[in-house]
């Protein structure tokens, strides 16, 4: 699905997504990544079942107000101990995370999207 911004912005935007990929400002990404309005970072999580405390520490260090965890094609919840360690965490499937990220960026919120494809 292609997404279109309502107004031009210098912030990173998710411009499309599909099974196993997202487009950030038109550039295709097929492996786990973290997107903020200012940066796009690789995220060293190969799949949801391998997520651990170190990965959540990376997210905490972003100091985002809201962190969207896109857990692949379906919504899956991390272990409660991991989730409790991160304030502002919202868990959803990756497509919902993409849509929500763009809305929050348009509102000027300090948001990060951590996206997993498996």
Question: What whole-number distance in Å separates Cα of residue 95 and Cα of residue 92?
Answer: 8
- Residue 91 sits in a domain whose CATH number is 3.40.1230.10
Q: What helix, strand, coil percent values describe the chain, rounded to 5?
A: 25, 30, 45
Residue 117, CA distances (Å) to 1, 16, 25, 69, 78 in order: 15, 14, 18, 11, 15
Kindly state whether residue 99 falls inside one of the protein's structural domains.
yes
Q: Starting at the edge strand that comes first in sequence, how are the strands of the sheet with 21-24 ordered? A: 14-18, 21-24, 27-29
Name the burial class of residue 104, with classes exposed (0-12), middle (13-18) and buried (19+) by CB atoms within 10 angstroms of its CB.
Answer: buried
pLDDT averaged over consecutive 10-residue blocks of the chain (118 residues)? 53 94 96 97 94 94 96 95 91 97 96 96
Q: What is the pLDDT of residue 85?
A: 83
Q: Looking at the whole model, is its pTM more than 0.75?
A: yes
* Tally of domains in the chain: 1
Kindly state whether residue 7 falls inside one of the protein's structural domains.
no
Kindly state whether residue 60 falls inside one of the protein's structural domains.
yes
Length of the chain: 118
Range of the domain at 55: 14-116
Kindly state whether residue 87 falls inside one of the protein's structural domains.
yes
Kindly state whether residue 28 falls inside one of the protein's structural domains.
yes
Q: What is the pLDDT of residue 1?
A: 55
Kindly state whether residue 1 falls inside one of the protein's structural domains.
no
Kindly state whether residue 8 falls inside one of the protein's structural domains.
no
Kindly state whether residue 3 falls inside one of the protein's structural domains.
no
């Amino acid at each position: 699905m292609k997404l279109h911004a309502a107004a031009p912005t210098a912030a990173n935007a998710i411009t499309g997504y599909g099974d196993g990929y997202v487009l950030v400002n038109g550039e295709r990404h097929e492996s786990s990544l973290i997107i903020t309005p200012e940066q796009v970072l690789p995220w060293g999580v190969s799949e949801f079942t391998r997520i651990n405390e170190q990965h959540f520490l990376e997210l905490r260090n972003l100091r985002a107000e809201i962190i969207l965890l896109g857990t692949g094609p379906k919504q899956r919840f991390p272990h409660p101990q991991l989730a409790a360690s991160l304030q502002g965490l919202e868990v959803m499937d990756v497509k919902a995370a993409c849509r929500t990220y763009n809305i929050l960026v348009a509102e000027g919120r300090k948001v990060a999207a951590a996206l997993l494809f498996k």
